[in-house]
Amino acid sequence: MNDSPGWAAPGSPSDGQGPDAAQQPPADGSAPSKWSAEQPPPGQWSSPAAGQTPPRQPQQGTGWGSYPTPPGQQPAAPYAYGNPGGGWGGPPPASKPGVIPLRPLALGEILDGAVATLRGHWRSVLSVSLVIAALSQIALLAVQRLTMDSITVPDSSSADPAETLRTLRDALPLYGFDYYLEILGLVLLTALLAPVVSRAVLGQTSTPGDTLKAVRPLAPRMLGLTGLLLLGSLAAGMLPVLPGLLLGSAALTALGMLASFALLAWFYVTFALAPPALMLERGTPVAALKRSAKLVKGAWWRVFGISLLTWIMRTITATVIVMPFAGLSGLLAPGGFSSLIDGSATRDWTVLIITGIGAVVAATLTAPMQTGVTTLLYVDQRIRREALDLELARAAGVEGYGTTGTTSPTGG
């Protein structure tokens, strides 16, 4: 694990391998898994209350919360967490070598960890985010300028359902391209920044050169995974809507749009952890998709809720950032602010460039928040199900972590 910025896929309960499997050499003669034998039984890592860590089973000869006994001394009497005199007073603080404590994470800790990663590793994060945002916006501007001439905005006071449906059909390629371009950018950004987040979790520094070195060997697999996710999201979003558009039925189209939203939500959440799984476990694209589905299983609503909340926060922040650029574009537009309302300003290159610059700035600053939360959700799910905190503590050099019935007292 120390020889890579992430963590190789261990034998784990969620993969159908118990703790005994970690101690037995594989039948094919390959190197045994580096996964710790000190794993809890399946189901023990349930969601704890805020600020609490599920207790580990004590080792032979030690009591709950006891620490290693120095040579030549009698072992101390066992005591309860947080209260040597007895009684349950809560667990001691978990070790925190980096941006998160090494235990199952609460919502606030995931959000704080994503912000701390951006603040502490801003050179690596913003450089990658800026490149992705700029390339995405250039592609969007080109398609927007080519397609806006063919879109006719109907008069809202006299438009009939057929005319509205025709306008929707004409605008669908542009809005669809915008949506899927954002998905593509988030997938690539999540994969590219996963090594940065992994170093932040371990309390290690990260530079753009380190990020490039970690990503370069996995670039073909990363592009393959991006292609699979894009094709899957296209199928989930477009197939339910096609019958209504082809038949010209507004009711069928509306029903198809509702179905496509549900399918897209399921698809996104189920495979949201695939990019960090690919980069940190260094498997194949198909293996990363399966790994994400296993980690999300049983926690779909939790992953969905945290991802949705992060998206709302990111959207609000991006809107605030874009507003000054939109105001400037309205002042410089040929028809003033009225041209922004009727849509004619979207055909002017000055307006498109100014709003595009605002969109690049907003995406550069806010997209890493979403991708950081996704990677930390991956880490959190593995801590809950596979006791990944043991492996993280060893990689971070936390001495004595996991060897007794409590976390290391040196952690903060």
The residue-averaged pLDDT of 95-105 equals 92
Which one is predicted more confidently, 333 or 278? 278
60 within some domain: no
405 within some domain: no
- pLDDT of 53 > 90? The answer is no
Residue-level pLDDT at 131: 94
Task: Indicate the helix (H) or strand (E) that contains 200.
Answer: helix 161-201
According to DSSP, residue 218 is labeled G
Domain range for residue 146? Answer: 107-234+272-396
Tens digit of each residue's pLDDT (9 = 90 or more) over 344-402: 566 677 778 888 899 999 999 999 999 999 999 999 999 999 989 889 988 888 876 66
Residue-level pLDDT at 195: 93
311 within some domain: yes
Average pLDDT taken over every residue of the chain = 76
Lowest mean pLDDT among 229-238, 329-338, 358-367: 329-338
Residue-level pLDDT at 163: 60
Which one is predicted more confidently, 71 or 409? 71
154 within some domain: yes
| Global confidence as pTM | 0.72
Taking CB atoms within 8 Å and a gap of at least 24, the contacts of 87-90 are 90/51, 90/52
Taking CB atoms within 8 Å and a gap of at least 24, the contacts of 114-119 are 114/310, 114/368, 114/369, 114/372, 114/373, 114/376, 115/369, 115/372, 116/200, 117/196, 117/197, 117/200, 117/368, 117/372, 118/368, 118/369, 118/372
112 within some domain: yes
Nearest to 380 by CA among 113, 118, 56: 113
How far is residue 206's CA from residue 214's CA, in Å, rounded to a whole number? 11
Percent of the chain with pLDDT over 90: 42
Residue-level pLDDT at 69: 46
Which one is predicted more confidently, 11 or 69? 69
- pLDDT of 86 > 70? The answer is no
How far is residue 292's CA from residue 1's CA, in Å, rounded to a whole number? 20
- pLDDT of 140 > 80? The answer is yes
Residue-level pLDDT at 249: 80
Residue-level pLDDT at 172: 66
Which one is predicted more confidently, 240 or 166? 240
Alpha-carbon distances of 402 from 13, 34, 65, 105, rounded to whole Å: 18, 15, 11, 18
33 within some domain: no
Question: How many domains is the chain built from?
Answer: 1
283 within some domain: yes
> What are the structure tokens assigned to 11, written together?
């034998």
Phi-psi region of 229 (alpha: psi -120 to 50; beta: other; left: phi over 0): alpha
Residue-level pLDDT at 341: 58
Residue-level pLDDT at 183: 87
What are residue 83's DSSP bridge partners?
80
- pLDDT of 134 > 90? The answer is yes
Residue-level pLDDT at 94: 77
- pLDDT of 15 > 70? The answer is no
How far is residue 17's CA from residue 348's CA, in Å, rounded to a whole number? 60
258 within some domain: no
Instruction: Give me the DSSP letters along 143-163.
Output: HHHHHGGG-----TTT--HHH
Residue-level pLDDT at 65: 36
The residue-averaged pLDDT of 143-161 equals 60
Q: Which residues contact 34 (CB under 8 A, 6 or more apart)?
A: 1, 8, 10, 391
- pLDDT of 19 > 70? The answer is no
